[in-house]
């Protein structure tokens, strides 16, 4: 079951799939030619699955350096007539927004589907923006699956309409959809689907103002076509309540599931007319108008922004209906996620019925926390420890997006602010400029290639003053060790080419650049002190393998640290290094040999305290 | 004991520590439900899983559509670490069943002496105030007896199954082990399953 490729399996076969795997199968069934991405939770299993399968000649995929580039790769491929999939997390669409809007305008003949994986509740993100806004903003038909089966079916349908309209289509999931598992019934994979033949048409594909004005009309016409498809389509499910019933409930996305479960648990299946929307842009205004005309009151259920609710309110006004519309309120907020119990309480009050849900339960107070932490043997801890020793609280620390953001926790406290991918360099430059304070910015290797290089070029160009420390652990660690240009050639294989970071940094005009080994505290601290004594743009590349990646490659550590003397050094390491492999035995410090990776940073920090034990 | 006999429509909440194999156990149980011909949906939250954080997942059987369990909704709570079992307790409905490992994995704050790990007796007492059935299992020991500490998770599934908290028998879990897990670890997990069921 788990070992079987999504390239196998014929019509009628049923498998338990992750939502993201179902999207992969749907794209394969559509005949996808090209996949580009930048990884990001909760989207990453889509490209990772394509990567692992290799393609067997069916498709080509790449990990692009950022979302804008990924979108442009996919858009270019779709201009060449290929069916293209581009995947990213919700904030990635901000990065890709520029090409997204223009691509919608000129249209893409091969058909492009954008997967936007949103994260209400911020399970692993810096915000919970609702990317359905982009569908409305840029004019993209928007599919929102609610089950694993729908994730597959809608991906396929999204490609079909993207090709027919020659316009990009959004497939929008949330964490709960991407990471749900459910049964999926397969269809057959097609024989090779042909590319749409390219024809030169600058009057369409080169949006100078005269062209752009025409294309804006074409886009509107395309969206009207899409609306007609949605009106009659299979992705709006309506169910009538009892004949005398005048209450209606509309839901989209994950809220559809909570509604179905709440109705079943409350025994309310006949108490309201139900409309479940699988396509949430453009709205099927005719069908919805007819639905609303049967109601005196309607409740709209959607996580995130009240987009559907606002559309319903405007539709009610335009149709001149006398109807009470309910939606977001103190219980159903724009923040976080809905749940069955939450929806049940709201539906009960909407229907004026007693709610069978039990009394609210409280969080167990005062339990010791278990926050995610930098791993034992993490090279970032070594660098952070050294930087704190050299700079203390003198410097302001500009952080970036990656595992190393976890360095914000005490005792390292190595993050004072964070904006977005790549912002450590540029926001750090701005901060130093305005405050006159020393700034140390941290960026990971993948993030450096994502959007750190442009900020660095700007810092050199505008004569900014900061130290940029590149935490180069040789992989995209946070999202699951995807390839990036900094990864060793051996790990990249033949599919991609390694880029040398130091050459890039120097090529961008940085003269103060050093490359050190992260696990060598002495040279690391010497380099930091040298850098601290200088001004201007300085870059320190600290190299040390990701401990998790090494473990994944089954590299067994050959040695472990062991405490040979208690006392001041032991207490200091406990307090300042706080490696998760440390534990306290009474008042004494000990090292858990099953967790220790043998990085020996503790031994360098307190040589009198630690010894080496060969395994 | 009526409270712990399996309903067909069941919401199960799993909790553990990153790297413990919580998600594998989830997939195993979901796979067993597929074999038993039950409607199944499962949910996981990835992302921070491998960095020592809490890992939660859910399996819902018998026609639930939502891959999520909120406070007070779970019929069964499977905890792979006692502190996390206690942290997950608000998810259990009154009278639900709890199966938990009794082997603490102290969080960093506890290891470093900044926080206190609650006593197992206190954890058990708090669980009994909510749960209709509560069973602690020495999962690590059972796992090691079967051949690997990791297989202790399967022992816990075996115990829940043998106690009648799941709507299928251990034979279905055995078939799921053979279907879902890679061949190299099947034997160990089958042994762990039997040890858990007998415990």
pLDDT of residue A266: 95
Does residue A1 surpass a pLDDT of 50? no
Structural domain count of chain A: 4
With an 8 Å Cβ cutoff, is A571 touching chain B?
A: no
CB spacing of B71 vs A254 below 8 angstroms: no
Tell whether A190 and A64 lie within a shared domain.
yes
Nearest CA in chain B to A265: B64
Among A258, A360, A368, most B C-beta atoms within 10 A, so best to mutate, is A368
Q: Give pLDDT, residue B50.
A: 64
- Structure-token match 């949605």, residue found: A230
Is the Cα torsion angle A197, A202, A208, A211 positive or negative in sign? Answer: negative
In chain A, residues with a C-beta closer than 8 Å to the C-beta of B179 are 1
A476 pLDDT above the threshold of 80: yes
Indicate whether A243 and A194 sit together in one domain: no
Q: Which of B43, B51, B112 sits opposite A179 (nearest CB)?
A: B43
* Same-domain check for residues A413 and A525: yes
Name, in order, each residue with C-beta under 8 angstroms of A610's C-beta and a sequence gap of 6 or more: A561, A562, A563, A564, A573, A591, A600, A602, A603
pLDDT at residue B48, as a whole number: 63
Q: Is residue A365 part of a domain?
A: no
| A230 vs B: CB within 8 A | no
Q: How confident is the model at residue B52 (pLDDT cuts 50, 70, 90)?
A: confident
CB contact under 8 A, A182 and B40: yes
Residue with tokens 């415990």: B199
Same domain, A504 and A520: yes
B83 belongs to a structural domain: yes
Q: Which of B51, B72, B90 sits opposite A406 (nearest CB)?
A: B51
Search chain A and give the residue with CA nearest B95. A358
A523 domain residue, yes or no: yes
Question: Which pLDDT score is estimated for B191?
Answer: 97
B contacts of A371 (beta carbons < 8 Å): 53
How far away is chain A from the Cα of B146, in angstroms, using its nearest Cα?
20
> Whole-number mean pLDDT of chain A?
95
Whether residue A304 is contained in a domain is answered as yes
Instruction: Measure the CA–CA gap between B173 and B193, rounded to whole angstroms.
Output: 8
Cβ–Cβ pairs < 8 A, chains A and B? 162
Please report residues of B whose CB lies closer than 8 A to that of A372.
18, 48, 51-53
Q: What is the pLDDT of residues A229-285, one digit of tens each?
A: 999 888 999 999 999 999 999 999 999 999 999 999 999 999 999 999 999 999 999
Average pLDDT over residues A446-469: 98
- Which residue does chain A place closest to B62, by CA atoms? A261
Co-location of A142 and A252 in the same domain: no
Indicate the number of domains in chain B: 1
Burial of B140 (0-12, 13-18, 19+ CB in 10 A): middle
Instruction: Find chain A residues with C-beta within 8 A of B115's C-beta.
Output: 368-369
Q: Which two tokens stand for residue A347?
A: 């539906």
Distances (CA, A) of A25 to A18, A149, B23, B67, B182: 11, 10, 22, 20, 22
Chain B interface includes A42 (CB < 8 A) = yes
Chain A interface includes B198 (CB < 8 A) = no
Distance, CA of A526 to CA of A605 (rounded, Å): 14
* Residue A7 located in a structural domain: no
Q: Please indicate, yes or no, whether residues A122 and A217 belong to a single structural domain of this protein.
A: yes
Question: Of A312, A332, A351, at which residue does a domain stop?
Answer: A351
Q: Are B111 and B117 in contact (CB under 8 A)?
A: no
User: Residues 6 or more apart from A420 whose CB is under 8 A from it?
Assistant: A91, A94, A126, A401
Q: Which of residues 172-191 of A touch B (CB under 8 A)?
A: 175-176, 179-183
Inform me whether the pLDDT recorded for B4 exceeds 80.
no
- Claim to verify: residue A93 and residue A222 sit in the same structural domain: yes
Does A500 share its domain with A576? Answer: no
Residue A5 included in any domain: no
Residue-wise over A454-475: b if at least 16 C-beta within 10 A, else e?
Answer: ebbbebbeeebbbbbbbbbbbb
pLDDT tens for B35-45 read 999 999 999 87
Whether A423 and A518 map to the same domain: the answer is yes
Q: Which domain holds residue B50?
A: 8-102+118-198
A307 CB within 8 Å of a chain B CB: no
- What pLDDT, on a 0 to 100 scale, did the predictor assign at position B1? 32
For residue A580, pLDDT over 80 is answered with yes
Q: What would the mean pLDDT of A377-392 be, rounded to a whole number?
A: 97
pLDDT at A185: 97
DSSP A139-172: T--EE---SHHHHHHHHHHHHHHHHHHTS-EEEE
Residue A180, helix vs strand vs coil: strand
Using the Cβ of B86 and the Cβ atoms of chain A, whether some distance falls under 8 Å is answered with yes
Assess whether A227 and A242 both reside in one domain: no
A-chain CB neighbours of B55 within 8 Å are none
- For the stretch A278-333, pLDDT in tens is 999 999 999 999 999 999 999 999 999 999 999 999 999 999 999 999 999 999 99
On whether residue A363 sits in a domain, the answer given is no
pLDDT digits (tens, 9 = 90+) for B112-134: 888 999 999 999 999 999 999 99
Structural domain containing residue A273 = 236-351
The reply to whether A142 and A216 lie within a common domain is yes
Residue A41 near chain B (CB below 8 Å): yes
Cα angle: A550, vertex A551, A554; to 5 degrees: 95
Query: Cβ distance A370 to B107 under 8 Å?
Result: yes
The CATH number assigned to the domain holding A497 equals: 3.40.50.970
pLDDT in tens, A35-89: 999 999 999 999 999 999 998 889 999 999 999 999 999 999 999 999 999 999 9
∠ Cα B157 B160 B165 (to 5°)? 135
Q: What is the CATH number of the domain that holds B131?
A: 3.40.920.10
Look at residue B108 and give its three-state secondary structure. helix
Residues A452 and A314 in one domain: no
Q: Assign B181 a pLDDT band (cuts: 50, 70, 90).
A: very high
ipTM of predicted complex: 0.94
**A371 falls within a domain:** no
Give residue B2's pLDDT. 36
Cβ pair B45:A371 closer than 8 A: no
**In this predicted model, what pLDDT tens digit does every residue of B79-92 receive, in sequence order?**
999 999 999 999 99
Q: Which residue of B has its CA nearest to A586?
A: B113
Asked if the structure places residue B1 within a domain, the reply is no
Q: Give the pLDDT score at A478.
A: 87
For the beta carbon of residue A481, count every other beta carbon within 10 angstroms: 21
pLDDT grade, residue B7 (50/70/90)?
low
């Amino acid at each position: 079951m788990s070992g079987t490729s999504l390239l196998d399996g014929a019509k009628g076969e049923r498998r338990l799939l992750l939502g993201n795997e179902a999207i992969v199968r749907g794209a394969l069934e559509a005949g996808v030619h090209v996949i580009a991405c930048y990884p990001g939770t909760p989207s990453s299993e889509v490209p990772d699955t394509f990567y692992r399968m290799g393609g067997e000649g069916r498709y080509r995929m790449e990990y692009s350096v950022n979302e804008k580039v990924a979108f442009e790769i996919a858009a270019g491929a779709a201009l060449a007539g290929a069916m293209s999939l581009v995947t990213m997390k919700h904030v990635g669409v901000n990065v890709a927004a520029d090409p997204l809007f223009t691509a919608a305008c000129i249209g893409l003949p091969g058909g492009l589907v954008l997967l936007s994986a949103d994260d209400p509740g911020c399970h692993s993100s810096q915000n919970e923006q609702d990317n359905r806004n982009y569908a409305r903003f840029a004019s993209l038909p928007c599919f929102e699956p609610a089950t694993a089966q729908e994730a597959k079916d809608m991906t396929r349908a999204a490609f079909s309409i993207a090709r027919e309209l020659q316009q990009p289509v959004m497939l929008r999931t949330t964490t709960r959809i991407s990471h749900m598992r459910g049964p999926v019934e397969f269809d057959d994979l097609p024989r090779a689907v042909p590319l749409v033949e390219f024809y030169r048409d600058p009057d369409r594909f080169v949006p100078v103002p005269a062209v752009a004005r025409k294309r804006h009309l074409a886009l509107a016409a395309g969206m009207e076509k899409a609306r007609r498809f949605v009106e009659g389509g299979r992705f709006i499910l309506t169910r009538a309540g009892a004949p005398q019933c005048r209450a209606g409930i509309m839901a989209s996305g994950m809220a559809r599931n909570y509604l179905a479960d709440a109705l079943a648990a409350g025994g309310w299946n006949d108490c309201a007319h139900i409309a479940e929307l699988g396509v949430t842009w453009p709205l099927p205004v005719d069908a919805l108008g007819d639905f609303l005309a049967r109601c005196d009151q309607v409740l709209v259920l959607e996580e995130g922004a009240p987009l559907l609710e606002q559309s319903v309110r405007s539709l009610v006004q335009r149709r001149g209906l006398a109807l009470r519309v309910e939606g977001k309120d103190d219980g159903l907020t724009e923040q976080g996620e809905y749940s069955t119990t939450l929806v049940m309480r709201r539906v009960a009050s909407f229907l004026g019925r007693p709610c069978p849900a039990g009394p609210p339960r409280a969080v167990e107070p005062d339990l010791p926390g278990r926050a995610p932490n930098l791993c034992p043997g993490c090279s970032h801890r070594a660098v952070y420890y050294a930087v704190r020793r050299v700079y203390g609280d003198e410097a302001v620390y500009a952080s970036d997006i990656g595992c190393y953001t976890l360095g914000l926790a005490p005792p390292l406290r190595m993050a004072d602010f964070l904006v977005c991918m790549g912002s450590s360099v540029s926001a750090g430059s701005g901060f130093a400029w305005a405050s006159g304070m020393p700034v140390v910015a941290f960026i990971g290797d993948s993030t450096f290639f994502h959007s750190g290089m442009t900020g660095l070029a700007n810092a050199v160009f505008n004569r900014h003053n900061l130290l940029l420390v590149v935490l180069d652990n040789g992989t995209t660690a946070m999202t699951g060790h995807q390839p990036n240009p900094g990864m060793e050639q051996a790990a990249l294989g033949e599919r991609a080419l390694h880029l040398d970071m130091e050459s890039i940094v120097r090529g961008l005009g940085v003269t103060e650049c050093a490359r050190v080994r992260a696990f060598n505290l002495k040279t690391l601290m010497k380099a930091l002190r040298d850098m601290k004594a200088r001004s201007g743009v300085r870059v320190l590349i600290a190299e040390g393998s990701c401990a998790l990646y090494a473990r994944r490659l089954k590299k067994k550590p050959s040695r472990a640290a062991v405490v040979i003397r208690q006392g001041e050094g032991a207490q200091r390491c406990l307090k300042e290094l706080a490696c998760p492999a440390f534990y306290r035995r009474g008042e004494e410090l000990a090292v858990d040999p099953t967790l220790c990776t043998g990085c020996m940073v503790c031994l360098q920090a307190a040589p009198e305290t630690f010894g080496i034990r060969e395994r | 004991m009526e409270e712990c006999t399996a309903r067909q429509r069941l919401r199960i909440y799993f909790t553990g520590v990153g790297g413990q194999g919580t998600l594998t156990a989830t997939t195993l149980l979901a796979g067993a439900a597929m074999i038993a011909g039950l409607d199944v949906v499962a949910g996981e939250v990835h992302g921070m899983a491998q960095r020592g954080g809490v890992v939660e997942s859910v399996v819902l059987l018998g026609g639930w559509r939502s891959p999520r369990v909120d406070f007070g909704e779970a019929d069964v709570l499977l905890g792979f670490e006692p502190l996390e079992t206690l942290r997950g307790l608000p998810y259990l409905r009154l009278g639900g069943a709890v199966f938990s490992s009794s082997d603490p994995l102290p969080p960093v704050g506890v290891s470093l002496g900044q926080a206190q790990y609650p006593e197992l007796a206190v954890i058990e007492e708090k669980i009994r105030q909510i749960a209709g059935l509560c069973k602690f299992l020495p999962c690590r020991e059972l796992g090691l007896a079967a051949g690997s500490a990791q297989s202790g998770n399967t022992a816990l599934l075996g115990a829940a199954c043998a106690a009648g908290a799941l709507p299928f028998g251990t034979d279905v879990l055995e078939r799921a082990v053979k279907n879902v897990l890679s061949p190299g670890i099947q034997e160990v997990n089958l042994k762990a399953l039997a040890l858990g069921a007998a415990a």
